[in-house]
Structure 1
């Protein structure tokens, strides 16, 4: 653990790159997920007042709810479009240039948000949210891909986890500056919604000082000289000769093979288990129950006696605990391994969800049970942030070779956005009809994914893509070989009996 961190800090340019790509990358997604919670009442009031000034009549409550849900969910639609459309551009123009251009989208969205109240147009908020969605969809894809490709093999786990760390940091920062003492006041909400333009501008100004992804330069462009220059700039003291040799091995293995489309990836039988792994893990990332936990945390804390005026600060504590735990994942990932962190934590999460269901059921019967519920809420966040949240994001970059990687990230991020949209639209009805028993629904997803990873996914720590691909092949031909051996044995016994007869 300490050795891996020391190795990371021996490459200061890589450390700065992690921050620069993160602040305009996954940070944007996390920030936009949480930032609307604080000013929601002010925005609804603005929508109602705008409609009343236009049509001389206030909105009915169901119409206001419909407009608000559209403002929230259009972010997911933009994200889906951004994540599915970026693949070909990352191949043609490179990771860095696409991310630089993507900042223009965030800045345009920020301008829309800033001027929406002045222009008396809630439609500008919708357009801004849609543009933020496109920006976040592109950022989730490229940021994770770039960081995974820039890290040397022995630091790939630590560097990969930082992608999810910036998601958690973005969520926490959205909660923090949404406090009434900062930008959560009624007159400040346009500035709060425009904040992402500032982080996009920071990344836009600093990106030109960083090289393109070394793997992209060598494997996609075939430019070894620029690859070596980028590696020396990013890694500094880390021995890069063996790493480049491994890249050359992958380049030779896929030589003459163009980057594959999403359809080609889906139809390729040799990549079936890798694709299934991405689909299962990314769907469960949204359907594991983390959103339900955050929703029920208000009720749990209220039942535990937390005053209403302090509730926002306690919920802010849940966001902070996610950030801290995610950083703890950086400390242990290289020693523990990705596979163990994923299956172990998913199985622990399913156990916590079962216990939380029981605790919520008994909350009104046993006086001290709300405190158990509080502990279980923070325990669930701990297992989620120290495992699936950190390991899942960089997974496509570790288990797919360069020709499949853009399509794999596109599918992964697309599933993430579809899951977020479904949760936004369906989750309120699940809670309404099932109450705290909704956790049993999420428990099923956690348990299934934990078992799936345990039996079907190999460890990726300190392994090249070619080695991981071979490990997948061995794991999933083992069963077939056993069946063939059994059939051969039965056939030979029958032959022996026939001979004796």
Structure 2
């Protein structure tokens, strides 16, 4: 039977995970918008003649996100708190949504400016969100909880594509609002997150690291851990790790490059985050409409396929919830890469070996291609979709965690910025044969994981450094603090839960007011 603390723990993590809806929605909204003739007409664009300009509109977002992730996301989350980082990111996203929705006629510059700004907002939110979840979730279910971070990417796509499908049906009646409606709904989830954030506890690790405020850290932990022993044990581990990092590693971000253990993690995380986009998912999510146009000509059919794909994406991501903490991160990444490679091989084979009639494929061939792309999504979502975020957010020590997660996650957008700028021309020149490139990449990614990535499932984040050749921060910090048992707080009441503490609260307060009351420290 789940405790009220565990249920509340899930709730606060799900609120933080809603920040990922911003990313999923935005990655899909441009795909939906560029499929609208009214959007092209409003900004004076030709889908065939202006492929590079359309590519620039898409990559403008990634430029803003990269700047935020590398230079703003980490410092904001570390200085002002994880909640503040998520809040700032959501607020900027709302402002940027207005800029895109009400961009003046033929003023593509305003729309691009909104895309850059929305990238800044999401880069900040997407740094603070996964850090918050990993710092609040207990080690034994950390992978399961983080699965819902990636699931919310699919939720964002789900909302965007179904709105696009609905507005496409009524495009004659809606006129220019067929694309504006898709864009303006992007502010819905950020508003919800902004309303809920003030009622969430701040990360106990941030309280200790930033302010050395043990009382507030303990109060936050009491809301999400069932017994006082759990609270004190985790608080002790946090203090020990932070003390060691402060003394031996350094509190500045230079530790990312000076410490060999952290540097190794940084480069590995860079590689898998770049790999996530080179699997083909990032390109498919932005240009699936262009790919489907080689099979079908009806816009409504393409919108429906995108919406169904996003719907299945939610269901497919849930597979990580029961596999990430059972079979591990490495298993998921390798199986996912092999499955995606197979799908990316079969799609162009089917496309190249079947006849084309009047410029399009038959319905049966089209259904086969869509089925294979759904198979690709089936393998991608729980593996290189969810697990890359899980692994990235859990492997760094608290002194560099926010900055490292911001930098690593934005390597996805570095890869996107480079690759998607020329992908429209790549697709136009080679057709479905361009998917062979993704097949080869996925084979290489499976080999990379097998040879280089260590398993991190159920390892406490304060002790994960050992997997990468670093010291055990808890044990070393325990020595610095002079703690007899680095893994257990001996002063905590072992059999007392929070209900017992609440019953004894009047006696505790009276004892604290007594003249001879003494402060008890771990």
Pick the TM interval, shorter chain: 0.7 to 0.9
Paired residues of 2:293 and 2:302 also in contact (CA < 8 A):
yes
Secondary structure of residue in 1 paired with 2:246? coil
Give, in angstroms, the shift of residue 355 of structure 1: 3.0
Contact 1:149 1:397 in 2 (8 A): no
Name which of 173, 182, 186 aligns with 1:196. 186
Contact persistence 2:77–2:127 (CA under 8 A): no
- Following superposition, the deviation at residue 172 of structure 1 comes to 1.6
CA distance in 2, matches of 1:296, 1:47: 21
* Aligned match for 1:33, one of 27, 35, 43: 27
1:14-413 alignment, distance < 5 Å:
14-23=9-18, 25-40=19-34, 41-48=37-44, 67-85=53-71, 86-117=73-104, 121-181=107-167, 185-188=174-177, 189-236=179-226, 239-256=230-247, 257-261=249-253, 264-291=255-282, 293=284, 295=287, 303=295, 309-364=300-355, 371-413=367-409
Corresponding residue of 2:484: none
Shift of 1:348: 2.4
1:225 Cα deviation from its structure 2 partner: 1.4
Q: Map 1:437-476; keep pairs closer than 5 Å.
A: 437-465=433-461, 467-473=463-469
Whole-Å Cα distance in 2 between the matches of residues 471 and 398 of structure 1? 12
Work out the CA distance in 2 between the residues paired with 1:384 and 1:460. 20
- In 1, the alpha carbon distance for the partners of 2:298 and 2:408 equals 41
1:56 alignment partner in structure 2 = none
- Counterpart Cα distance in 2 of 1:7 and 1:430: 52
Residues 109 and 194 of structure 1 are in contact (CA less than 8 Å); yes or no, is this contact kept in structure 2? no
Q: Output the TM-score relative to the length of structure 1.
A: 0.82
Which residue does 2:429 correspond to in 1? 433
Alignment root-mean-square deviation, CA: 3.0
The structural deviation recorded for 1:114 is 4.2
Assess if the C-alpha contact under 8 Å between 2:5 and 2:223 holds in 1.
no
Contact kept, 8 Å, 1:78 with 1:131, in 2: the verdict is yes
**Secondary structure at 2:324's aligned position in 1?**
helix
Larger deviation: 90-99 or 65-74? 65-74
Q: Distance in 2 between matches of 1:109 and 1:297?
A: 24
Shift of 1:132: 0.8
TM-score by length of 2: 0.79
Return the alpha-carbon distance in structure 2 between the equivalents of residues 315 and 9 of structure 1. Answer: 39
- What's the secondary structure of 2:457's corresponding residue? coil
Deviation at 1:181, TM superposition (A): 4.2
Paired with 2:167 and 2:186, the residues of 1 have a C-alpha distance of: 19
Q: Structure 2 CA distance, aligned partners of 1:131 and 1:259?
A: 30
Segments of structure 1 that go 5 or more residues without pairing to the other structure are 1-5, 49-58, 475-501
* Matches of 2:290 and 2:89, distance apart in 1: 36
Partners of 2:52 and 2:452 lie apart in 1 by 43
For residues 264 and 13 of structure 1, do their structure 2 counterparts lie closer, same or farther at Cα, with a shift above 3 Å needed? same
Structure-2 separation of matches of 1:370 and 1:130? 35
Unmatched 5+ stretches in structure 2: 471-522
**What residue is the counterpart of 1:421 in the other structure?**
417
Per mean C-alpha deviation after superposition, the further-off stretch among 240-249 and 208-217 is 240-249
- Please state how far the C-alpha of 1:79 moved relative to its aligned partner: 1.0
**In 2, Cα distance between equivalents of 1:42 and 1:427:** 23
Q: Distance in 2 between matches of 1:372 and 1:289?
A: 18
Please state whether the residue corresponding to 1:334 is helix, strand or coil: coil
Q: Are the structure 2 counterparts of residues 293 and 69 from structure 1 closer, same or farther at C-alpha, using a change threshold of 3 Å?
A: closer
SS in 2 for 1:392: helix
Seen in structure 2, the aligned counterparts of structure 1 residues 309 and 89 have a Cα distance that, compared at 3 Å, is closer
Q: Residues 80 and 418 of structure 1 are in contact (CA less than 8 Å); yes or no, is this contact kept in structure 2?
A: yes
- Alpha-carbon spacing, 1:32–1:459, altered in 2? closer, same or farther (3 Å): same
Whether contact under 8 Å (1:219, 1:250) holds in the other structure is: no
Note if contact 2:99-2:111 (Cα within 8 Å) is conserved in structure 1: yes
